[in-house]
Structure formats: structure tokens, C-alpha cells
């Protein structure tokens, strides 16, 4: 399993790289923390929230249904972002992240 920990806004170059890698991944899970939760917003909402340029693609368009998206509850609340069924919001985000990291064959990429 490939684990992607995304902490950057949709307009960040690191996010764009992450989305390109996700598009080619067969078995991936994306963890959104910090400003990474802005990736749950649509492109227009993300632009308003960050006051920056447009991203090349959104998280939703980069991920086919076989992927999982997990977001940190505290970071969602702090930034006023709602998961709206686009992501799983566990009670203990970091426990879920560590559990996935400990699985045999897991690789983690941080952005």
C-alpha cells in the first residue's frame, strides 16, 4: 500500500506532484493534515480560501474510487472545512496513520 501524507494547499507544487503520483498508484490511501484539508474543497472554494492561483487538478479528480481519503478532524475544524462525505474523519487520525504505516509492504510519501 502507498500512503500519502498531504499537508500542503491545492496550489502548492508539492501537492501537484502528489496528485500525479496518486493518479498512477493502484493501492493508495491519502491522509490530509494541516493545510492539506483544503484539498477537499472544490477548485473555486480552494482558490477563495487560499487567495492563490488555480491548481492543475483536484484531489477528487486524481483519485478513482479504489482510493481512500482520510482527514484530520482537528485540522478540518480549525480551517472551517467540511469533509462532506469526501473523506473518512476518524476519531484518532494519527492512530489510523500509524496502523496503515505498520502494515507489511507499506510505503509513505509526505508532501
Contact between residue 31 and residue 93 where contact means Cβ atoms under 8 Å apart:
yes
The answer, yes or no, to whether residue 18 has pLDDT greater than 60, is yes
Of 85 and 58, the one with more pLDDT: 85
The answer, yes or no, to whether residue 28 has pLDDT greater than 80, is yes
What does the pLDDT average to over 24-49? 80
Which is nearest to 69 in space by CA: 57, 77, 61? 61
What pTM was computed for the model?
Answer: 0.83
Per-residue confidence (pLDDT) for residue 69, from 0 to 100: 92
Backbone angle region of 110, left / alpha / beta, with phi > 0 → left and psi within -120 to 50 → alpha: beta
Per-residue confidence (pLDDT) for residue 54, from 0 to 100: 47
Mean pLDDT of all residues in the chain? 84
End-to-end CA distance of the chain: 17
Locate cell 500500500: which residue? Answer: 1
pLDDT digits (tens, 9 = 90+) for 69-101: 999 999 999 999 999 888 999 999 999 999 999
Per-residue confidence (pLDDT) for residue 52, from 0 to 100: 47
The answer, yes or no, to whether residue 51 has pLDDT greater than 60, is no
Domains and CATH numbers, the chain: 2-110 (3.40.1260.10)
What does the pLDDT average to over 12-37? 91
Amino acid at each position: 500500500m502507498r500512503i500519502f501524507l498531504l499537508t500542503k494547499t491545492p496550489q502548492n507544487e508539492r501537492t501537484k506532484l502528489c496528485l500525479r503520483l496518486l493518479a498512477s498508484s493502484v493501492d493508495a490511501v491519502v491522509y490530509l493534515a494541516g493545510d492539506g484539508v483544503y484539498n477537499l474543497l472544490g477548485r473555486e472554494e480552494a482558490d477563495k480560501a487560499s487567495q492563490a492561483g488555480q491548481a492543475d487538478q483536484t484531489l477528487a479528480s486524481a483519485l478513482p474510487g479504489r482510493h481512500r481519503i482520510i482527514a484530520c478532524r482537528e485540522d478540518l475544524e480549525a480551517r472551517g472545512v467540511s469533509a462532506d462525505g469526501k473523506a473518512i474523519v476518524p476519531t484518532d487520525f494519527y492512530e489510523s496513520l500509524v496502523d496503515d504505516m505498520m502494515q507489511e509492504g507499506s510505503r509513505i510519501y509526505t508532501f
